[in-house]
Structure 1
Amino acid sequence: MDVIEKVDIRDEEGNTMDYSLYKGCSFPPHVVGNVRDLVANCAKLKCRQDDVLLYTYPKSGTHWMHNILNMFITGNFAYAGTASYLEFAKIDVIDNMPSPRLIATHLEVDLFPDDIKNGIGKVVNIVRNPKDVAVSYYCFLSSMKGVGFTGTFDSFLRFYLKEEFFFGNWYGALKQWLDIGKTYPKMKIFTLYYEDLKRNTLPNLKRVVNFLEIPRDEDFCKSVIDNTGFATMKRHHETESKHNEQFKDVVKDGVLPIYRKGEIGDWKRWFTPAQSELFDRVYKERLAKYDLDLVYE
């Protein structure tokens, strides 16, 4: 039987990171159940042709895109709250969701349901520049209890750049996605870049509609934009999530800190020149074979 390894890192400054390692994949402490069952259940999940799987590396615009997709799928502009995640929801809850289902995940591509890999359902992915992801991820984890990390931003960057990090490191997750045409050629995929979606929202939403093959016109897309602005989404989230029992033990008032700034380039307020140079060096080493033009400001 494959072994679940509990990893507990303590550095010389007292910073900590804890996670579970299984089949080469790393999982934060707050996933549901044990990771062996999680991996097995995800693999065998029975998918449907009209399923939409939203795949993101954490802090890449997941909740924003979840609400956008939900509006397109349902045809109304109601705030949809927090997504149902493969790794955080019980599998029978996902099994019993009515069609069309919108499911989210931070799991690595190799852990997707077998049906998804074989072209049943569609997958939407958002890629965000890794420096802004790092800052947003650090702020998120630092404001919660029992999520596997405590420490300074500098220590977080050292953990973040390791090969093993929650849900895999950013570089490895992106390479799996970029190689998806070779590894899982049947999978129906669509890629959005967070910064492009922020700056060119309407044309990108039209691309999303075309991929989903849902009849939504330009006026509908404009209404989606009006109803998914950052301030609007943050207000809805904070109002509807207060005193949420699900997260009462890890965050104040049950409100997950998922809306912080949503800006492009906030990393400049956090990174020192030395940290940025280290980050750039690691980026070039790990993605040397890939032609990417990410936006950082």
Structure 2
Amino acid sequence: MNTAEMFSLTQEMEKSWDNEFQELVKALPKEDGWIGSHLYFYQGFWCPALVLKSFISFQKNFQAFASDVILATFPKCGTTWLKALSYITLYRSHFARDENPLLSSSPHRLVRFLEYDLYLNNPFPDLQNACAYEPRLFATHVPYASLPTSITDSNSKIVYICRNPLDMFISLWLFSTKLRDNNLRPLSPDEAFDKFYHGIYAFGPFFEHVLGYWKASRENPNKILFLKYEDLMEDTNSHLKNLAMFLGVPFTEDEAKQGVVPEIVKMCSFENLKELEVNKKGLHASGIPNADFFRKGEVGDWSNHLTPSMVERLEKLIQEKVNNSGLTFKLSCKTSRIFHPS
């Protein structure tokens, strides 16, 4: 599926909305999205037209099990990596080490999105058969405040990963450029920056999304594990051990002796995943080519793209948004530059 076909799919999705849903949508603020299709402002965030109806179906109909694990992320913050690490860690006892499912399936196929996949064309999908093993493992980009109450009020667990907003913006802009409708002129860096600054992008605003999970994780750390992309890059082994402990499947002494942790880290590394044949071809359920989910995965790449004035404006925005929250962002691994709001 090329970009024109994906854009056409989104248009067809909007046309297929029934009258009742059309009436709901009419009352929502609407903006042009980064790839050309519409964004609708719903429950405090900008929802892509492609998944607006599936998100509402997910929100209304999903019934969480106490054992469920939900991987929650903001787009372009390490979703693919987190899916790979979580899947192999949680289910490692179900397959031989030389039969790793990542060798034959995309992380997005192994850990399926709720709004972008399972509920996309079915308000009541077969969730039990959507997961090869138990406990069930799903993914979502939905903000914490908009999650189904069966998730927030149950004993299910949430793993959230965030990324510094400068790198996230660059990754989002370049990703969107690949997907943008070919019939539209390219989205310039200045236009993208203006939309980003004002929070107008899929599942934005970014800071409200991150802070929702950050505050919830501080209130209930046994339910929500809050990870930072930069910390995970810096010491993947230690954070993987913490992830396994949080998921209730800690690594054993025998596994430590056998080198299972570094083996999983290597298997799930950006470099390895990017070179696997399964990730070089094929499509995600939303129509996005698997290869488009892999670019650089670096920390600090923003310095190659952002102007000094852009950096200054974003740092002021970070200061304004996360001040007094306790949340900090590491902007570069090389310099260990950390942005601490005063």
1:155 corresponding residue in structure 2: 191
RMSD of the TM alignment (CA)?
A: 2.9
Distance 1:51 1:221, change over 3 A: same
Distance 1:245 1:110 in 2: 26
Distance 1:46 1:187, change over 3 A: farther
1:51 corresponding residue in structure 2: 68
Cα displacement (A) at 1:200: 0.8
Cα displacement (A) at 1:174: 1.3
TM-score scaled by length of structure 2: 0.75
Distance 2:234 2:221 in 1: 31
Alignment of 1:182-261 (within 5 A): 185=220, 188-217=223-252, 218=256, 219-236=259-276, 239-240=278-279, 242-244=281-283, 246=285, 254-261=289-296
2:127 corresponding residue in structure 1: 94
* Higher share of residues assigned helix: 2
Unaligned runs of 5+ in 2: 1-19, 120-124, 333-342
Distance 1:212 1:15 in 2: 36
1:129 corresponding residue in structure 2: 164
1:179 corresponding residue in structure 2: 215
Cα displacement (A) at 1:86: 1.4
Cα displacement (A) at 1:270: 0.5
Distance 2:262 2:179 in 1: 35
Highest Rg: 1 or 2? Answer: 2
Cα displacement (A) at 1:207: 0.6
Number of equivalences: 285
* Amino acid paired to 1:286: K
Q: Is the 8 A contact 1:116 1:187 kept in 2?
A: no
* Amino acid paired to 1:27: C
Q: Is the 8 A contact 1:16 1:151 kept in 2?
A: no
TM-score scaled by length of structure 1: 0.85
1:112 aligns with 2:152: no
Distance 1:138 1:226, change over 3 A: same
Summarize deviations over 1:159-198 as a string: whole Å, max 9, x none.
Answer: 012144311211111121122158x859711011111111
Q: Is the 8 A contact 1:54 1:66 kept in 2?
A: yes
SS in 1 for 2:226: strand
Alignment of 1:63-74 (within 5 A): 63-74=80-91
* Amino acid paired to 2:327: L
Cα displacement (A) at 1:22: 2.4
Which segment drifts farther, 21-30 or 48-57?
21-30
Between the two proteins, what is the percent identity of the paired residues? 23
Cα displacement (A) at 1:243: 4.3
- Give the one of 197, 204, 224 matched to 1:168: 204
Distance 2:297 2:35 in 1: 27
Distance 1:202 1:247 in 2: 32
2:77 corresponding residue in structure 1: 60
Q: Is the 8 A contact 1:71 1:224 kept in 2?
A: yes
SS in 2 for 1:190: strand
Q: Is the 8 A contact 1:247 1:255 kept in 2?
A: no
Unaligned runs of 5+ in 1: none
Could you list the runs of 4 or more consecutive aligned residues of structure 1 that deviate by over 4 angstroms after TM superposition? 14-17, 146-150, 184-187, 245-248
1:8 aligns with 2:25: no
Distance 1:37 1:18, change over 3 A: closer
Distance 1:209 1:220, change over 3 A: same
